[in-house]
Amino acid sequence: MAEKKSNNISSKDLKNKMAPENKYEKLPGNVEGAPDMAKMAEDMEKLKTKLDAFKKKVIEKYKFTIALGMLPKGANIIFEEEEAVPKEVIESKPIHIIMLMPEEHYKDLAKIKEEVVNIVKETKENLWVHIKTPVDLWNYGLDSRFEFLDAISAAYPLFDNGFLGALRVANIHKSLVLRTFDKYVTTYVIAGSLVRGTADKDSDVDVFVIIDDTDVKRLSRIELLEKLRAKIYDYVREATALAGVKNILNVQVYLLTDFWQSVKDAQPVMFTFIRDGIPLYDRGTFIPWKRLLLMGKIKPSPEAIEQYMKQGEQTVDIVKRRLLDIMVDIYFGVVTPTQALMMLVGEAPPVPKVLVEEVKKVLVEREKVMNSKDIKTLEKAVNMYKQYEYGKLKELSGKEIDELLKESTEYNKQLKNMIKKIEKKMSEKAAEEIYSEVFTLLKTLLGDKSQEALIEDFENKLVKKGKVSPKLSFVLKEIVNVKRKLKEGKLNTKEVDRVKRDVWELVNALTEYGQRTDLICSERGTMLIMYKGRKAELVLMGNENNFMIEGNVIKKITPAGLKDSTKEEFEKAFSEHKGRLSTKVSADVFAVLKKELGDFEIVF
């Protein structure tokens, strides 16, 4: 008895196995190695006219043809032996053509062969046509006659509906894998739509590679799997490029022990894999599994059966939980955009606990953009979630979910309408504020005059004299135009946005102009101002002794802002100035007031 060759693999062995090699040397399992496509192309060019004529006649007569291909020369002998081709035909060295037809036409095989022979005679070319069905090809694999599959996958395609290309990319990948990991590959199996007969030119190609880990001692099983899997996956790109197809090659890699455990645990994927898969390479494991499965000898363990039964029993609970999960998703789909709307109107996003109450105050009562129907939808979603959170809501019916989803969809639709309304109101408010701010500033600088007079003074005293940029005249006119459209109800949001973008330059220019003049004239040392509906008196003594009096509250106006003062401090300052009030006041005083009070108006 021959000594058994060890299958032990070490890290060093694996590294050597994975080292780059000449990818175009003879590949294991192929009759003539990897197909020499360049040489075939050269040969085919010489035969192109007659082979095209043969192909066209075959395809025209048998529209169901799956593929036509020229077999590699090295494969001739095995097909000649299988079909007992006459000696005189063999000596004439014919070109061997593989023709694949659907299994349902197998009953007409004799008639088709006779007619194809007549077509060959018409071409006057030395051809021998082998007519097969996919079942014939898969039987080669099941009979461990892998050299036939290798030869057919290497055939030069004359016509292909996708079958040959898919088989070719799988077989090239198999050859690359075997060249590197020959003794560690237990089986290489093709499955999926190609085997089921439903593949087309764009179908994925599904293959399984099983690695023998039963005699591995120097590497952990996981380390072995990851190292081999990485290299096997790398070969996918190479095989796809060599095959020249667009089909995606999906490769699943399993350790032998894990695969067998999955079969014992009754994983459906493994049963389907064994039942439908066809080996392109096998060391005597896959085919026995397939036979045992067909005989009913591979059965799941009692534990696996019990586990699968429990999954069936748990279905109702899973569905109920998922319905509740859907309710939670709908809840957030209602609450989150509502919080966004609240932020749009300048409010902090309310927490869910007080969301309904805050929305009623702001969107219903203050902004008047939300109606009672919408608030009920929001309230319903929030209450449902609270009950779920407290454990009181255990389940919901599909009908209730459908109703809630319908209501939330309509609610979100209404939110979009509310956004438009709010944006319109905000634009109107912004337009009003821009106009008020600019013309208040103009009145401060140019005097309390009409709009037309202020615009005229702006042109004559500021623009024409080079105090501000001429382009600001356009900005001022735009502000007036926006104000006019606001009154007419024809305000455009885009126009407001444009003015908001440009107005800061006008305000800055006017402020700088006021600062450059340094002193602002006042008719008297005391004046009355109004801000936020309140009145206050300014007592201006010049230098650092300027005060604002509002009722019994006295505040000193300093460069840092308004500071609390006392009656004693005010009387002392007034006494030091001998009761004289200044008629000229620094613009900084008004800048401080603007910062502290916001918009204010000088009454007299």
Instruction: Work out the pLDDT band at 19, boundaries 50, 70, 90.
Output: very low
Separation of alpha carbons 495 and 427, rounded Å: 9
How high is the pLDDT of residue 218? 67
What token pair was written down for 59? 């395809």
Residue with tokens 């939110």: 415
Its pTM stands at 0.50
- Between strands 278-282 and 519-521, the pairing is unpaired
Query: Using one digit for the tens of pLDDT, what is the confidence trace for 116-151?
Result: 999 988 888 889 999 999 999 999 999 999 999 999
How high is the pLDDT of residue 32? 42
Query: Using one digit for the tens of pLDDT, what is the confidence trace for 423-445?
Result: 888 888 888 888 888 888 888 88
DSSP per position, 96-150: EEEEE--GGGGGGHHHHHHHHHHHHHHHT--EEEEEE-HHHHHHHHHTT-HHHHH
Q: 276 vs 17, which has greater pLDDT?
A: 276
Separation of alpha carbons 558 and 516, rounded Å: 20
How high is the pLDDT of residue 229? 84
Average of pLDDT values for 238-256? 89
The answer to whether 516 and 585 have CB atoms below 8 angstroms apart is no
Query: Using one digit for the tens of pLDDT, what is the confidence trace for 341-387?
Result: 999 888 888 888 899 999 999 999 888 889 989 999 999 999 999 99
Instruction: Work out the pLDDT band at 176, boundaries 50, 70, 90.
Output: very high
How high is the pLDDT of residue 259? 87
How high is the pLDDT of residue 306? 65
How high is the pLDDT of residue 206? 92
| SS3 at position 534 | strand
**If 0-12 CB within 10 Å is exposed, 13-18 middle and 19+ buried, where does residue 559 land?**
exposed
What token pair was written down for 129? 């046509």
Residue with tokens 């020249």: 244
Up-side HSE of residue 176: CA atoms within 13 Å toward CB? 27
How high is the pLDDT of residue 217? 65
Beta partners for 529? Answer: 536, 602
Percent of the chain with pLDDT over 90: 28
Buried b / exposed e over 529-548, threshold 16 CB at 10 Å, is: bebeeeebebbbbbeebbbb
Average pLDDT, the chain: 82
Query: Using one digit for the tens of pLDDT, what is the confidence trace for 67-77?
Result: 999 998 888 89
Separation of alpha carbons 185 and 203, rounded Å: 26
Instruction: Work out the pLDDT band at 209, boundaries 50, 70, 90.
Output: very high
How high is the pLDDT of residue 579? 56
Separation of alpha carbons 201 and 166, rounded Å: 8
Separation of alpha carbons 180 and 176, rounded Å: 7
For the sheet containing 127-132, what is the strand order? 127-132, 95-100, 67-70, 156-160
The answer to whether 205 and 278 have CB atoms below 8 angstroms apart is no
The full length of the chain comes to 604
Query: Using one digit for the tens of pLDDT, what is the confidence trace for 410-427?
Result: 999 999 999 888 888 888
Counting other chains too, the contacts that 103-109 makes at CB distance below 8 Å and 24 or more residues apart are 103/133, 103/134, 103/135, 103/197, 105/64, 105/133, 106/133, 106/135
What token pair was written down for 507? 């305000």
Choose the most confident range, by mean pLDDT, from 181-195, 212-226, 533-547.
181-195
Whether residue 475 is predicted with pLDDT greater than 80 in this model: the reply is yes
**If 0-12 CB within 10 Å is exposed, 13-18 middle and 19+ buried, where does residue 62 land?**
buried
| Pure H helices in 284-397 | 286-294, 302-313, 315-344, 352-359, 372-389
How high is the pLDDT of residue 17? 41
Up-side HSE of residue 302: CA atoms within 13 Å toward CB? 0
